[in-house]
Amino acid sequence: MPLVNIVLVLIVVGVLLWLINRFIPMQGTIKSILNAVVVICVVLWLLSAFGLLSSLNHIRVGS
């Protein structure tokens, strides 16, 4: 995956998260849980994109 695509995805995810945090009214706890889930997913995606987490490709959901 080219570095430009990774940077673009990070920018889009960041802007979307900022828009959700800024304009959608939520309780603080729900907002912090949402932020944590998004950050964890992005970190796992980055590790997989750079090949540092090769076991992520073997995870299957269902049969």
> Rounded to whole angstroms, how far apart are CA atoms 41 and 36?
9
| Helix and strand counts by DSSP (H, E) for the chain | 2, 0
pLDDT band, very low/low/confident/very high, at 63 (cuts 50, 70, 90): low
Q: Per-domain residue ranges for the chain? A: 3-58
pLDDT per position as a tens digit, 3-49:
999 999 999 999 999 999 999 999 999 999 999 999 999 998 898 88
Tell me which residue of 50, 41, 51 sits closest to 14, measured CA to CA: 41
Task: List, as one string, the DSSP characters of 13-31.
Answer: HHHHHHHHHHHS---HHHH
Give the pLDDT of residue 56. 60
> Rounded to whole angstroms, how far apart are CA atoms 5 and 11?
10
Backbone angles phi, psi at 59, to 5 degrees: -80, 125
Taking the complete model, does pTM exceed 0.85, yes or no? no
